[in-house]
A and B are shown apart, each in its own frame.
Chain A
């Protein structure tokens, strides 16, 4: 096991090095410079040229890479071209917001999706199973921007009209101005979390249903039933423990996405997370921020993949490395 972990860590480091090179090249090869005079008739091209030179952006991209790598291994992700602040500072400000939003959405969706999946599997082909299946497919099919905008109108505008202006959900941000209470935060999370959770519930519940169905048809489950165990005990003590294993992998693989944020949902609800920052960075060609976000996600993906494999071994005694 120890040897396996060491080997995986070394492979992970190698992988990150290759990814840093690939991502660096991709950002630099994306057409269009970070700075231009644009639509400002009084902008000075000389100042733009001077800045490009100062940042070394006029060199070939591969010649810029060694300096980037050197800074990266020393923990320096550079300064944002737009905000003129260290990328690490921006990440520190934004990552927690995305973790709060996406983490809550994940917990909520798992709390709904797992029982729903089990319920549908144990009552296969029942009317309820059919209904959940249809709703799930609708949930999976709805684009996030459509659902987000719909919830914005339904929860923030139509609901206000229906209640004569007395009751509606916040349309933007994490807090009402100048407040920071937990209740206020939860209140502001209702619409964006719902938007994210609806999509996740649909996917997770289908996954859980399929996994549970597979396990329910295993020999040991039939044996348990033959032993005369109660259906509830068979389902929840014997089948569920094995059926839930793939969910661990799914959650582990999704975790890195928490820090990269949910671009569309954060944009619709003005949630100050990583998604909004990363999207604007891509539009602005803010290379340090783009690379900072991408490398952070890469590190977490490698790490959580490893953790998922280790967790598998812990949860399932049959697995040995």
Chain B
């Protein structure tokens, strides 16, 4: 029996305000200009416009205006309804989620958007035979087909095998596609279906035409359920040079650049007449140690298997200065895996290591590594020497590795040779467990669930061939805390949030105390607008929600000023 535990409470008040603000913008007012063409820059051509195939950032950006989400992120990255009519209800055993669909939504061919579309979308995403580069994970469902059903035209029921708190952000915050179009497609051939021209969509803008390699043109959807957009057309221009893209906004040739990095941030923020927002990205970098005692192939003892060595590494470095030098001041130093952009970010939960070279040296001594005649530490006749892998195509990371390598050699007697590596080759030794340390980067979803990165069940290659825990670190308390943040589903979203935040704090503490990895920074990225009104940044000036389809309703509220 379902008791219909409502996941609203505190969040709903802000949700309501948001919806009013966002949807209300769709109604013409005397102060808002109607019509015009918004030019938007993409740094590469979209690989696909099929919503089941989107696995790259450019495609996610290109498609974000065209398909509705079931749930979406608000400006502070809380999950709120989009196509859904209210927050989901969860059964008393916390395993059955029920979602109501709004009744006024229509596809571009005039047919209503119903529960059948949501069910079919989930079933296609859950189909193990789906040929895609996208990262869908519907494993919590009892069954990829029968685990999601339509109770009636506007009600969808998801049945899970377990209590799974990330379900809302990971699974329900997804774009919905028309069942009539995609439902009959052989999922093994989905990759080539409508990859360059979606025929039926339901977002604020509709596909108009595409000129390969140059632009994708969209037109206003007058029947959009979130309100008829003020802007008449969007032209997505492909601008491969980031300097040119940033300058194009200043020149007025482009209205919106969704990603500005590095020195271009300074250029844009200094320009007059440009609205720019600089904030921490929803991704981070860390130094990934091999925490095992030996390489997986048994050929070598690892350098960082001893926690004292990892702590010495942390104490030997001045993170703030390294991040500042590597990113030219456009990075936010981190001490945990919850990025500052996340609502779960808690600066007080992390373990910080202030530079203390004397302490670092004593820790190395305690670990049995003594200074050799050439200054490099030695243990049992073997030098502390290894390769410091880093992706060669990422200049900021290479610079950071070079600085750290120098500091560690000088301060601590570690011989860690910077090894820039082509990114197609970079992951092979790391995923095989045959490495000492590597500079890694992680793109994150809206939920900070770190199960695949740090749970010992996800250690690759020993435990799984698919996990992203390359460290080999095993800790029962860490596993318990990670499991808890996945299962802490409470009667209200506020209670769930509070419980999970406490769980994440435990995770952060264990990660930091054991220096499982050495966290580096989250990029500060920028978005710039010229002649666009209605853009609402979230906390800390963040516009993470206005990117890669995390929220589509906002686009009906935006307008052009000239």
Chain A contacts to B: CB under 8 angstroms:
31-47, 49-51, 54, 79, 82-85, 90, 93-94, 97, 149, 152, 156-157, 160, 165, 168, 170-178, 267-270, 272-273, 276-277, 280, 283, 285
* Cα separation A94 to B445 with both chains bound (whole Å): 34
Whether B466 lies near A37 (C-beta < 8 A) is yes
Whether B241 lies near A168 (C-beta < 8 A) is no
* Cα separation A97 to B238 with both chains bound (whole Å): 15
* Cα separation A165 to B133 with both chains bound (whole Å): 44
* Cα separation A97 to B247 with both chains bound (whole Å): 24
Give the number of chain B interface residues (Cβ < 8 Å): 57
Whether A171 lies near B135 (C-beta < 8 A) is no
- B428: chain A residues within 8 A (beta carbon): 32
- A276: chain B residues within 8 A (beta carbon): 213, 240
- A35: chain B residues within 8 A (beta carbon): 133
Whether B217 lies near A178 (C-beta < 8 A) is yes
Q: Could you tell me the distance in whole angstroms from the C-beta of A165 to the nearest C-beta in chain B?
A: 8
B184-223: CB near A (< 8 Å → 1, else 0) gives 0000000110011000000000000000111101000000
* Cα separation A174 to B239 with both chains bound (whole Å): 11
B239 is contacted by which of A41, A93, A97, A173 (Cβ under 8 Å)?
Answer: A173
Q: Which of B297-305, B343-351, B419-427 touches A? A: B419-427
With most chain B CB atoms within 10 A of its CB, the pick from A84, A152, A267, A268 is A84
With most chain B CB atoms within 10 A of its CB, the pick from A37, A165, A168 is A37
Whether A79 lies near B192 (C-beta < 8 A) is yes
- A177: chain B residues within 8 A (beta carbon): 37, 39, 215, 217, 235, 237
Whether A40 lies near B443 (C-beta < 8 A) is yes
Whether A36 lies near B424 (C-beta < 8 A) is yes
A sample of 4 more A-B contacts (CB under 8 A), given A54-B131, A171-B244, A270-B239, is A46-B466, A84-B53, A94-B212, A177-B39
A152 is contacted by which of B192, B241, B466 (Cβ under 8 Å)?
Answer: B241
* Cα separation A239 to B253 with both chains bound (whole Å): 50
* Cα separation A93 to B251 with both chains bound (whole Å): 29
Interface residue? B233 (CB, 8 A): yes
Whether A173 lies near B237 (C-beta < 8 A) is yes
Task: Name which residue of chain B comes closest to A42, CB basis.
Answer: B135
- A172: chain B residues within 8 A (beta carbon): 237, 239-241, 244-245, 248, 253
With most chain A CB atoms within 10 A of its CB, the pick from B39, B237, B431 is B237
Minimum-distance CB pairs A-B, first 5: A32-B424, A272-B213, A177-B235, A42-B135, A45-B466
- A83: chain B residues within 8 A (beta carbon): 45, 47-48, 195
Q: Could you tell me the distance in whole angstroms from the C-beta of A293 to the nearest C-beta in chain B?
A: 14
Whether B241 lies near A39 (C-beta < 8 A) is no
Whether A156 lies near B465 (C-beta < 8 A) is no
**Which chain B residues in 39-65 approach chain A with CB under 8 Å?**
39, 44-45, 47-48, 53, 55
- B135: chain A residues within 8 A (beta carbon): 40, 42-44
* Cα separation A94 to B135 with both chains bound (whole Å): 30
Task: Name which residue of chain B comes closest to A47, CB basis.
Answer: B132
Interface residue? B452 (CB, 8 A): yes
A156 is contacted by which of B45, B233, B247, B393 (Cβ under 8 Å)?
Answer: B247
- B411: chain A residues within 8 A (beta carbon): none
* Cα separation A177 to B238 with both chains bound (whole Å): 10
Interface residue? B386 (CB, 8 A): no
* Cα separation A156 to B241 with both chains bound (whole Å): 13
Task: Name which residue of chain B comes closest to A176, CB basis.
Answer: B253
